[in-house]
Structure 1
Amino acid sequence: MNVAKQPYRPVRIAPSLCGGCGGQAFFVLVNDCGAERERSGCGSRAFIADSEDYWEEDSWETERSGPAYCPCGRDKFEAAVAFSLGEDGSIRWVTVGLRCIADGFCGVHIDWEIDHGPTDHLLTMV
């Protein structure tokens, strides 16, 4: 059996921390255009990476749109963002992983391609 060899793609991973209170527990909204997180403690909101640029009303009409939920039914998570880098070091993909506060279940809830530049500023938008 011939298996196509996948090219190595470096990844940077960063945890989401609230800029206001430093907390790590969030409610997360996802749609086809990205993700927005709301701090469960202080209520502060922030878009992840370039989500705000593409957060459109039409993007809420898909199956992947709405609040993120764990299979246990809870909706409070710790979040981390993985940035897949291209050969030139620019960000090519953003992946949002969530860990349920209640039971520790982990999963990828949304990912999207980055097809514009420059991208360095997105590394701070987690």
Structure 2
Amino acid sequence: MHADDQVGEGVSADLAVLLRSVDDGRPVKIVPSVCGGCGGRVFLVLFDDVEGGAARMCVACGGRAFIADSEEFWEDADPGEAGCPCGSREFETAVAFSLGNDGMVRWVTVALRCRRDGAVGVCADWKIDYGPTDHLLTMA
């Protein structure tokens, strides 16, 4: 955990603890995923755990969104659908943006919390090696 970590309103304690534990010592900004169409917070999630990248679909309204810069690389991705060992495919999602000394995003980590049994885990993470990156902070 870093003294400059920021956890957005609406991120469950389980996801915040998990995302803080996987950071690389840099400060992180942890943001909940919220549907831009209806405000929903439960999603089906596709992710590529090899190259990195994730997309989510709101269970309430069907709205779809890419997380961070995933859309740029999605054509070459081989995504799979997230599923919990309990059989559920519905998740609360949060994203940790690891920040460099210059305040720019250097790493993106996507974590999920199963809506049925509360299990948490990281489904994807990837490095950001360009700038500026401020736009990514609004793409959870």
Residue in 2 that maps onto 1:113: 127
Percent sequence identity is 63
Mapped pair 1:49 → 2:63: no
User: TM-score if structure 2 supplies the norm length?
Assistant: 0.79
The ranges of structure 1 where at least 4 consecutive aligned residues each deviate by more than 3 angstroms after the TM superposition are none
Deviation of the 1:41 alpha carbon: 1.0
Alignment of 1:67-86 (within 5 A): 67-86=81-100
Deviation of the 1:71 alpha carbon: 1.6
Higher helix share: 2
Alpha carbons 1:33, 1:55 under 8 Å: kept: no
Residue in 2 that maps onto 1:123: 137
Alignment of 1:8-87 (within 5 A): 8-31=25-48, 32-56=51-75, 58-60=76-78, 65-87=79-101
Q: List per-residue Cα deviations over 1:19-55 (Å, max 9, x = no partner).
A: 1100100000001230000001100000000000111
User: TM-score if structure 1 supplies the norm length?
Assistant: 0.88
Cα distance in 2 for partners of 1:8, 1:106 equals 21
Cα distance in 1 for partners of 2:33, 2:61 equals 15
Count of residues in correspondence between the two structures? 115
Rg bigger for which structure? Answer: 1
* Structure 2 residue ranges without an equivalent (≥5): 1-23
Cα distance in 2 for partners of 1:82, 1:115 equals 16
Alpha carbons 1:25, 1:40 under 8 Å: kept: yes
Q: Please, what is the CA RMSD of the aligned residues?
A: 1.1
